[in-house]
Structure 1
């Protein structure tokens, strides 16, 4: 995982450069994009009480996008709009896996409550997105 400043997001391939978002023929995508809240990540790290200087960046979670100042939906079927045209439908909770404990012991448990691990979604509408773009929940 590496942070980037902008990316293309498409229905066919998810986030540019992430092969996990590619839609396979005859399949309905449920895990094209993973989003996490910076506040949830911070709460999980606080719970771990890591030594100063050993904090982990949000992308250690292996999420595609990190949003700040917005509570992501805790249910499937909600629409997250990013920038001018990108729209993502939430499909399920992004349950933390055992790989999180390889990053930091206890991280899996710290990400478990209240969807702290983030949400998964599928792309409804393509768009170019960039760091700083407005993120909103459509009603």
Structure 2
């Protein structure tokens, strides 16, 4: 039992550490320091951190600090979206709506928007309202 509690405590500590570094990436991104955002997010994204994966997707989708590459953006957005991150689900839906890096597919876009909206992500609800 004690070993299990230690394991749970370690997992929680790592989760908090990942979030702190992901937040550092977001702070750098917001300041326009895309190289620093990339440096913060890449190792975390490689380890499965959904927020960092979504951040990388944004860098690639917009060509900020990296060459614009929709295929890479979709890869990262999809990894985060499949983990349930609503912002990434919205980004993936938007890519399908526009056909950025994927075949344009309104139905798939709506499906991703609904997943995000069901979690209370307001931009997804707004776009769904405009699509109806």
User: TM-score, normalized by length of structure 1?
Assistant: 0.25
Greater strand percent: which structure? 1
Which structure has greater helix proportion? 2
Larger Rg: 2
